[in-house]
Amino acid sequence: MLLLMLFAFVAGAGTAITPCVLPVLPALLSASAVGGRRRPLGIVLGLGATFTIAIVALAQLVKGVGLASGAARTLAIVVLIGFGIVLLSPDLAARVQAPLSRLARFGPKTRGDGFWSGVGVGGALGFVCAPCAGPILAAVTSVSASGGASAKIVAVALAYAAGLCAVLFLYALGGRKVIDRVRRSARGHVVERTLGAVLIVTGVAMAANVDVRFEEALAKSGNLPAFLVDPTRSLENSSAVQKRLTSLRPGSRFAVRQSQVTASTTAATAAGVAIPGVPTPALAKLGLAPEFTGTEDWFNTPGNRPLTLAALHGHVVLVDFWTYTCINCLRTLPYLKGLYAIYHPYGLEVVGVETPEFTFEQEASNVRQAIAADGLRYPVVQDNNYGTWNAYQNQYWPAEYLIDATGQVRHTQFGEGDYKQGEAAVRQLLYDAGARRLPPPTSAHAVVPSAQLATPETYLDPARSQGFASPLQAGVHDYRAPSSLQQGEFALQGHWSIDKQSATPVAPGAAIQAGFQAANVYLVLTSQGNVPRQARVLLDGRPISPARAGTDVTGATVTVRGQRLYSLVSLPGVEQHLLTVELPPGVSAYDFTFG
């Protein structure tokens, strides 16, 4: 844990030298240049405190949509403008500072004039400081959003904030020294009034989101060196950091208990229950299954009314955590549909818990469309707020929890594979619940990824992208693809807008290139306003042929309408190729997967 905190401190310090913090620097330097010697300390302490609140507590409230926004950002802008107005009038500044100075006995004792007002201004800056989220910061916000703030999360967030604030403190001290020299040659309160004007302009600019556009324009004005754009990328993507980040979220208690079970596999108690040649898993009681909680819309239930595990008492229930753009989840659907079709008449209920990975997956209409497209007949519920996900302490898509007729979790399965063992467990629990003369095992087969698969999944956002020839940067940037790509390497070409979840072209001529080794290629795409837009698909520089095109491609063109995963390439076997997807403005790309 201490090593992860050290990594977080270094990552925070590295972030402070990137263009991401430029929008808050004018306010930081202006506020630090007035008042007593301790004001810069107050500013960075206030900034660190509210920044930590933003990435931990507020992430829980907004479910990981981003750092502080809405009311918190508005309040911060009001504070900045208000402090700027105060600096414009020395008499008003004295009146405001008088009550705050009485708090000095609780703070630093030496030349502490302005410390507490500095804390206030720094607190406001903490709510509008939104640095580019690398893996460590992304892990803190996402885990906070789905599981709340644990002691480990708070410790890592504080370490990150400390690293960020340490460098910002050096900026503040350096800026103060420079402005002090200017002040000696200036008359009256010219410097204070100038700094006040800077604060007001900064606040107004942030209210108009000019800070975001300024950061984008600065970044795209030239190809900045990698050590400035993302100085800690190699550190944060290292196996040492990634391994420790997985410890931030506690494992499911059911999975932990299952891993501790050492008993031999359960023997079938009657002929026709066991699957020949398939060992039935050990089915120890792993704990009482949580109720479905914090859910939204239900589908495929009578009147679309909610189900409860209490009402399903006496049934064997398979709870499947999935999301409709996850290729790993989609590959398991034939298996789940087969189980439901065969065993539902004998007492099996399958419940799909759709827990979104992307914001657009929260839309009920999109989920309804996906259920129809995938042919799901079993009940599905939206878990937008991760209520049921957290109740099970789940960490994976897909994840299955098998519950017996008394409400006890008896078996867990994460990811793909072991389908026959899962079916054997279902058959045994159905028999234990009183089902007799079970039918033969299902003939349905899940889609199995190729054993030769060598190209890993990658996202088109800065925090989770892997394998890109040029690192993805938040904001609007020009990208140039290299002349050739290696297997497992990706590149953008053209003018793109990158946010925390996706990449969107902002001008014609934009393309994504991927050097891949796989039989199938999928890409999650959305079209703004669900307006049909067409994208071209090329294989090795030529329009993809019908024999090699995925199911969503016609005439080397994919029409993007809904917000879902699109099948772009379907080869007879695993092959190596260069894929180019030319996207028009208005279409956003989220996630590449291969099979």
Residue 258's CATH number: 3.40.30.10
Last residue of a domain, one of 432, 450, 485: 432
- H helices within 282-394, ranges in order? 327-343, 364-374, 387-391
Share of the chain above pLDDT 70, in %: 72
**Number of domains composing the chain:** 3
| Same domain for 279 and 130 | no
Which residues face 493 on adjacent strands? Answer: 511
Domain presence at residue 299: yes
Residue 446 lies in a domain: no
If asked whether residues 239 and 109 sit together in one domain, one would say: yes
- Residue 474 domain flag: yes
pLDDT of residue 578: 92
Q: Give the residue-averaged pLDDT of 429-445.
A: 78
CA 318 to centroid of chain Cα atoms: 27
The pLDDT value recorded for residue 579 is: 92
pLDDT of residue 525: 84
Task: Please classify residue 140 by burial: count the beta carbons closer than 10 Å to its beta carbon, then call 0-12 exposed, 13-18 middle and 19+ buried.
Answer: buried
- Do residues 147 and 62 share a domain? yes
Judged against a pLDDT cut of 60, whether residue 63 lies above it is answered with no
Mean pLDDT of the chain, nearest integer: 75
Look-up of token digits 């932990």: 256
User: Rounded to an integer, what distance in angstroms lies between the CA atom of residue 289 and that of residue 391?
Assistant: 9
Residues 222 and 264 in one domain: no
Residues, the chain: 595
DSSP string, 216-232: HHHHHTS---HHHH-TT
pTM of the model: 0.51
Residue 453 domain flag: no
Give me the phi and psi of 234, to 5 degrees please.
-65, -35
At 74-99, the pLDDT tens digits run 666 776 677 778 767 766 655 555 44
367 & 467 share domain: no
Q: What is the mean pLDDT of residues 62-71?
A: 42
Residues 339 and 396 in one domain: yes
φ, ψ dihedrals at 149, nearest 5° = -95, 110
Range of the domain at 562: 458-594
Residue 448 maps to a domain = no
Q: How far, in whole angstroms, is CA 334 from its chain's centroid?
A: 27
Share of the chain above pLDDT 90, in %: 11
Residues 476 and 560 in one domain: yes
Please list, residue by residue across 215-250, b when 16 or more beta carbons sit within 10 angstroms of its beta carbon and e when fewer do. Answer: bbeebbeeebeeeebbbbbebbeeeebeebbeebbe
- What does each C-alpha distance from 257 to 247, 283, 285, 286, 388 come to in angstroms? 17, 11, 9, 6, 19
**Lookup: tokens for 355:** 């827990």
Across 284-304, average pLDDT = 87
Residue 396 class from Cβ within 10 Å (0-12 exposed, 13-18 middle, 19+ buried)? middle
Backbone angles phi, psi at 292, to 5 degrees: -65, 125
User: What are the two backbone dihedrals, phi and then psi, of residue 11, each rounded to the nearest 5 degrees?
Assistant: -65, -40
pLDDT at 67: 38
Does residue 237 lie within any of the structural domains? yes
**pLDDT, position 105:** 41
CB contact at 8 A, 399 and 320: yes
Same domain, 303 and 335: yes
Q: Is the same domain home to 267 and 404? A: yes
Say yes or no to pLDDT of 158 above 50.
yes
Q: Which 8-state DSSP code applies to residue 411?
A: E
Question: Is the pLDDT assigned to residue 456 strictly greater than 90?
Answer: no
pLDDT at residue 250, rounded to an integer: 61
- What CA–CA distance (Å, rounded) separates 26 from 338? 61
Residue 496 lies in a domain: yes
CATH number of residue 516's parent domain: 2.60.120.260
The DSSP code for 408 is: B
The first and second tokens of residue 239, run together, are 């196996």
Q: Are residues 483 and 420 part of one domain?
A: no
For residues 61 and 207, membership in a common domain is answered with: yes
| Residue type for position 147 | G
The candidate with the shortest Cα–Cα distance to 522, out of 546, 480, 551, 563, is 551
Model pLDDT for residues 188-209, shown as the tens digit of each residue: 567 667 777 877 887 787 777 6
| Of 254 and 212, the one with more pLDDT | 254
**Residue 17 and residue 171 in contact, taking contact as beta carbons nearer than 8 Å:** no
Q: Are residues 237 and 98 both part of a single domain?
A: yes
Query: In the prediction, which pLDDT does 107 show?
Result: 42
- By CB neighbour count within 10 A (0-12 exposed, 13-18 middle, 19+ buried), where does 523 fall? buried
pLDDT band of 554, cuts 50, 70, 90: very high
Greatest mean pLDDT range, 319-328, 359-368, 548-557: 548-557
Q: Which of 75-89, 350-364, 516-530, 567-581 has the lowest mean pLDDT?
A: 75-89
Residue type, 251: G
CA 299 to chain centroid, in Å, comes to 26
Has residue 115 been placed in a domain? Answer: yes
Cα separation of 200 and 206, whole Å?
10
DSSP letters for 20-88:
GGGGGHHHHHHHHTSS-TTHHHHHHHHHHHHHHHHHHHHHHHHTTS-SS-THHHHHHHHHHHHHHHHHH
pLDDT, tens digit, for every residue of 478-504?
Answer: 888 888 888 888 999 999 988 877 889
